Amino acid sequence: MNQIKLKILKFFLENNQQEISAAEIAAALNLNQAIVQQSLRDFKKAGRIADFMPGRYKLMNPKIYFENFLFVYKKNQLVAYLNFEKGQYSLTYDTNYLATASPISPQMALTEEILHSEKLFNVFEQLIPEGQDRKILEKQAGSANDFDLLPFLQHVYGDLQFSKTALAPKNYSHTIHYSDIKNEMLGKNTFPNIFNLEIHIDDNTLFPEANPLDKVIKSFTPSGLSGFQ
């Protein structure tokens, strides 16, 4: 998405409940009206805006076109909506995220358009475990479809999370950096600090293939790590 579209999108977000004309946008942002009109046509085609009155546009959420979708979060921030209908996957970025952030993946452009694919997008497909762990995950989800497995994943690479419902936002007063708390963490020890700890993992988790699925499923935590099996 180019910088002119980004400016227009931010202007809509700042005036979320208002219906705005191309002339008002051009004047407020000091842009050529013809360029603004072309951008508005692109946004309308992508379902980002609608004109309920001739020549006046209002911001829309393109997820209204989805009937079977998941909320996609990255580091607890709503990123996009992933839909699966009639054998086709569709993804659209959340408008607030689109105006301020970066792509989920270099292979998925930060665009106002709805992205379509006959297969699950690779950035999500690679999160699903393989082998016996996938079988256990399918048992938990009651489905073998990739789309249905996504909400059951935990410990997902890239801090991605999938939910059938909107999650409550988590507010943090500031970002915590390691450098701010390293002295508290290390105490009098130098880095690296090796702790005298033992880890005990249940055999059902370590060796799921040696136990019936119905037994393993009670203690199994599905991991969203690429190639995990």
Handedness of CA 130, 70, 16, 48 (dihedral sign): positive
163 CB-near residues (< 8 Å, 6+ apart): 70, 71, 73, 151
Residue 114, number of CB atoms within 10 A of its CB: 19
pTM of the entire predicted model: 0.77
Q: Which two tokens stand for residue 45?
A: 């085609």
Provide the 10 A C-beta neighbour count for residue 178. Answer: 7
Task: Specify the fold of 3-60.
Answer: Arc Repressor Mutant, subunit A (1.10.10)
Type of residue numbered 28: A
For tokens 């959420």, the residue is: 61
pLDDT of residue 197: 75
Give ranges for CATH 1.10.10.10 in the chain. 3-60
- The answer to whether 22 and 44 have CB atoms below 8 angstroms apart is no
Instruction: Give the tokens for residue 227.
Output: 């190639």
Strand 49-53 to strand 77-85: parallel, antiparallel, or no bridges (unpaired)? unpaired
Q: Can you tell me the distance from the alpha carbon of 87 to that of 118, in angstroms, rounded to the nearest whole number?
A: 7
**Using CB atoms within 10 A of its CB, is residue 148 exposed (0-12), middle (13-18) or buried (19+)?**
middle
Rounded-to-integer distance, Cα 126 and Cα 131, Å: 13
Q: What is the pLDDT of residue 112?
A: 95
Cα 42 to Cα 210: distance, rounded to the nearest angstrom? 55
Distant-in-sequence, close-in-space partners of 3: CB < 8 Å, separation ≥ 6 = none
φ/ψ (deg, to 5) at 37 = -60, -40
Direct distance between the N- and C-terminal alpha carbons of the chain, in angstroms, rounded to an integer: 38
* Residue segments in the chain with a per-residue pLDDT below the cut of 50: 228-229
CB 121 within 8 A of CB 114: no
**With b meaning 16 or more CB within 10 Å and e meaning fewer, what string describes 40-74?**
bebbeebbbbeeeeeeebbbbebbeebeebbbbbb
What pLDDT does 198 receive?
81
